[in-house]
Structure 1
Amino acid sequence: MKITSQNKLLLPVFCSAFLLSGCWLDSDDDKAVEPVELATSANVRVVHASPDAPTVDIIIGGTPISQKLDLDYQDATAWYAIAPNTYEISVEANLPGDDANVLTFSPALVGSQTYTILAIGSVGQGTLEALVVENTLTPVTAGNVRAQIVHAAPNAPEVDVYVTAPDTLLSAEQPLATLAYKGFTGQVEVPAGDYQIRITPAGSTTVVFDSGTLALAAGSDLLISATQNVVTGSSPVSLVVATGAGSATILDKDTPAEIRAVHAVADAPAVDIIANNALTLFDGAPFKGATSYIEVAAGDYLIDVAADADNSIVVIDDAAITLTAGMRYTAIANNTLALIDLDLIIDTPRKIATAAQVRIFHASQATPNVDIYVTADGEITDVSPAFSDVPYATGALAETGYVQLPAGDYVVTVTPTGTKTEAIETGVLSLAAGEIYTAFAVDGDMEGAAPQLILLDGFVVPQAN
């Protein structure tokens, strides 16, 4: 069997039990992350905190910040040094086919100051705006860590923010701050060490976000933004920590993973998918069946795929997978029953207001390499394929990746590579901005039959478990 996965590098300025397997705590002040710009410069960084916005480019005085093109949600640039002056600063959204200016303002930037510009609000709701947090550039006191907290989650109410020693009872503490949306604290210095950040509705001790234990290194200068949670779990926020060199994201310590299953083995019966020889994740999944996502604890699992009618017939035995907190996965059984494969695919849960996101997989072992056309009317005679020579691969399923398309009507046509012979044609598909669409090309119902599509996400409502 094969498992495909993805790793995300996180800056080692702090750690969370769910994001980092170990902690980095460095008490040597001269190794701390600090702005390296001259004290006379104006120092600018940008935090992408708009949950439904696409990736963006930042343009200052007509010059892109080249260190961080395609800035994604919950990401931040490093400090950018610039001569004091008044500049036009633009945020350009990366849209299908072109970029568009979505936000422009002209602040007066003063020397020896730092400016964190947060792009906040919703593109879809027309509330995108810039929130500027300005501070004087000063060093962090030796042995301390400095932090500033911003409420940048548009759907979250007014909140109390607690920063305490780990496992301190909140009933014995006062909140560090009470913040409404767009509110922020001043810069606060505390001794380096272990801390826990918890967020509650204002006036309540009911915790809606819990960081778990964080190790904060001496000399670190952090801006911590509570942003809208767009991954798994019930917490309304996750924290984006801008370090001066980049950023990292902290999820609630109890954030689960999510997984669904797709049965794409044409000659296999309905199957059960069982974790750790005890937990039935999915029961009686038929060929072309797709389940809804279910929440599971992050961690390592051994997966069995067994015949639904007789669990003693195990076609995949103890396949090892690792599920990461905040991640969403599709487990797809494919190939033939004799050579059955299990692929673990990472899905994206974040929808973008400016485009439809479409991803197509080649999961038909009986079909040779294919060309994939995406057209307005299905006419492909004089059109080049959008994706050419896509194979069925046993190392990892070949896919298009998430492709952003403008909202509209499309026809997806699949042909054997180098031909215009239609193996699959979808008919007209109406794709909406702000939706995610997934399709798997799989074998026909019987040997020799034409391939077909399993359509998921925005195409159709998945079947219940």
Structure 2
Amino acid sequence: MNGITKCSIPVLAVLMLAACDSDDDNSESVVTPPPAPDSTYVRVHHSVADAPDVNVLVDGNVALESVPYGASSAVLELDEGTYSIQVDGILADMSTATVIGPADVELDDDMRYEVFAVGKVGDATIAPLIFANEVTAVTEGNARVEVVHAAPDAPPVDIYVTEPGADLTAASALTTLAFTDNSGQVEVAAGDYQVRITVAGEPATVVYDSGSLELAAGADLVVAAVTNTMTGNAPVMLQVADGEGAMLVPDVNAGAEIRVVHASADAPAVDVTLNNAATPAIANLPFLAATGFVSLATGDYLVDVAAEGGDPLVLDDIPLSLATSDKLSVYAVGALGDGSLTLAAVSDMQRRIATEAQLQLVHASPSAGNVDIYVTETDAIADADPVFSNVPFDASALVSTGYVSLVPGDYVVTVTPTGTKNAAIGPITLTLEGGGIYSAAAVDATGGGLLPQLILLDDLAPVQ
């Protein structure tokens, strides 16, 4: 890694003073500036699954801003020396709280430091994990990989990096790692590989499978096993840092997850069938009800919706495409009576954040028209401004607020026709906790028309 020539302010000051001290008598006095400091290199990784975005401060100044979970910075070049490092979590009200440091860290020349934030906010175990390697080139034709165990709830594991499809019972693990361990740098010939993680000593118990991955010649990667916040049953996913940023690689079998929400007020209980199967995937789902999340393989589906028992068929061969790690609520929405009944999908939150509550409201009430949504400390909205205004109903592309981050506490939600202070829904008092995911859909009154009502989902749903 070639250094970038830097000239610090003190060096410039010495040069300027030397010029000022010279005179016209051809003095032989020469001031020699101190040598420029050598370079050191740093990369920062956010690997705390329940933490908000963070700012990284160096010597009290923000060096990296709003770094999300699963992200890694580019490799940063600094002068060698001692620096004060601090990590601040960004709270829902945009204030910050220091979660790591400030701590003095000595950074030596010609070393590359990997600075991970690991642990969990929820149990106050968040901490820095720092290790370093000498700055060297990757051997021509090879890729270099260093693996880190950064998933606090995962047990000790064996890491296998093999040709795709290799039999693990006949293979040797690249390394065995417990939480916060790293493998050191390992070079392999460039090519296609499969990364599998097993419980330590149990090659048949695969808990993560990357599928086939290309390791390109010259690649210099730090690969962290971090807590899985996507779909699927794998406890971990991979955070792959390449020097410019990072990508998250879910388990190859992560698939997608969907739930079905019956939000059509004049439709009877329904059966939902996939790909024209002989039996429904979901049977007898009544208005105001929602299924749990169901795992499905990625791909293209045809969805049929029929009255309970399969007759009459009201929606036939509605296309639904699912990509890896999609998590969707599929709403049966609109009215059966006027032919506007359709299916519409809304993305759902997958990651819980310990410092904030996340709230989403979906407009699925055709009779309500455009609405304003208030989220306030009390039920008085006369002098309040709506958090969301003029939210329309659109059966084909349901409109939602998206997930709004709120400081944990008590809130009052009120929905009014746009431009009025007349409550159509609410005021409803909600107690929202840190780490909570809260969703609700506004729908018509049973049978259709006003007044609208709510379907409560996720952490708002009644306990069964």
Indicate whether the TM-score tops 0.5: yes
Q: How many angstroms does 1:150 deviate by?
A: 0.3
Q: Which residue of 1 aligns with 2:125?
A: 127
The one-letter amino acid paired with 2:146 is Q
Deviations 1:406-435 (A, max 9, x none): 111111100111111010005321111111
Gap change, CA 1:75 and 1:280, over 3 Å in 2 = farther
Contact 1:262 1:290 survives alignment (8 Å): yes
Larger RCO, structures 1/2 (Cα 8 Å, 6+ apart) = 1
- Relative to structure 1, the CA distance from residue 292 to residue 462 in structure 2 (aligned partners, 3 Å threshold; closer, same or farther) is farther
Offset, 1:400: 1.2
Letter in 2 for 1:176: L
**Alignment partner, residue 289 of structure 1:** 289
Q: Within 5 Å, which residues of 2 pair with 1:267-282?
A: 267-278=266-277, 280-282=280-282
Give the structure 2 partner of residue 12 of structure 1: none
The change in CA–CA distance for 1:299 and 1:448 in structure 2 (over 3 A counts) is closer
Which residue is 1:385 aligned to? 386
Q: Gaps spanning 5+ residues in structure 1: where? A: 1-34
Q: Could you say which residue in structure 1 is the equivalent of 2:33?
A: none
Match 1:200 to one of 178, 198, 201: 198
Aligned with 1:290: secondary structure? coil
Distance in 2, matches of 1:116 and 1:132, equals 6
Alignment-derived partner of residue 12 in structure 2 = none
Deviation at residue 147 of structure 1 after TM alignment: 0.2
Whether 1:71 aligns to 2:67 is yes
Distance 1:36 1:441, change over 3 A: farther
Instruction: Note the C-alpha offset of 1:312.
Output: 4.1
Measure the CA separation in 1 of the matches of 2:382 and 2:451. 21
Letter in 1 for 2:152: P
Larger Cα-atom Rg: 2
- RMSD value over aligned CA atoms? 1.7
| Inter-partner Cα distance in structure 1 for 2:3 and 2:333 | 54
Post-superposition shift, 1:462? 7.5
Structure 1 residue matching 2:146: 3-state secondary structure: strand
Q: Residue 109 of structure 2 is aligned with which of 104, 108, 111? A: 111
Q: Distance in 2 between matches of 1:287 and 1:307?
A: 12
Count of residues in Structure 1 that have an aligned counterpart in Structure 2: 426
Task: Give the 4+ runs in structure 1 shifted more than 3 A.
Answer: 35-40
Contact 1:291 1:462 in 2 (8 A): no
Structure 1 position 286, deviation (Å): 1.1
1:360, 1:401 within 8 Å by CA — same for their partners in 2?
yes
Is residue 43 of structure 2 the alignment partner of residue 45 of structure 1? yes
Partner of 1:76, secondary structure, is coil
Counterpart CA distance in 2 for 1:448 and 1:377 is 28
C-alpha distance after superposition, 1:126-165 (max 9, x if no partner): 0000101211111111110000000001001111111111
Contact 2:343 2:396 in 1 (8 A): no
Name the counterpart of 2:439: 438
* d(CA) in 1 for partners of 2:164, 2:290: 42
Per-residue Cα deviation, 1:14-67 (whole angstroms, up to 9, x for no partner): xxxxxxxxxxxxxxxxxxxxx67549422222111111111112222233235x
Q: Which secondary structure state, in structure 2, belongs to the residue aligned with residue 303 of structure 1?
A: strand
Q: Is the 8 A contact 1:373 1:414 kept in 2?
A: yes
Q: Residue type matched to 2:298 in 1? A: A
Shift of the alpha carbon at 1:231?
2.1
2: CA distance, partners of 1:272 / 1:385: 38
Q: Residues 68-123 of structure 1: CA distance to partner in whole angstroms, max 9, x if unpaired?
A: x3222112111122222212222121111122221122211222211111110000
1:113–1:134 Cα contact (<8 Å) kept: yes
The worse-fitting range, judged by mean Cα deviation, of 347-356 and 200-209 is 200-209
Q: Distance in 2 between matches of 1:181 and 1:119?
A: 13
Residue 299 of structure 1 aligns to which amino acid in structure 2? G
What is the TM-score of this pair, normalised by structure 1?
A: 0.88
Equivalent position of 1:373 in the other structure: 374
Structure 1, residues 244-303: CA drift from partner, whole Å, max 9, x if none? 011111222222311101011111111111111116221111111111111111211111
Which residue of the partner structure matches residue 9 of structure 1?
none
- What is the rounded CA distance, in whole Å, between the counterparts of 1:462 and 1:328 in structure 2? 22
| TM-score in terms of structure 2 length | 0.88
Find the aligned partners of 1:401 and 1:165 in 2 and give their Cα distance. Answer: 42
Q: Which amino acid aligns with 1:265?
A: S
Whichever residue aligns with residue 141 of structure 2, its letter is: G
- Point out the more displaced range, 105-114 or 158-167: 105-114
Deviations, residues 332-371 of structure 1 (Å, cap 9, x unaligned): 1111111112111221221110011001111111112111
CA contact 1:290–1:462 (8 Å) conserved in 2: no
**CA contact 2:456–2:462 (8 Å) conserved in 1:** no
* Structure 2 unmatched ranges of 5 or more: 6-37
Do the aligned partners of 2:51 and 2:120 also contact (CA within 8 Å) in 1? yes
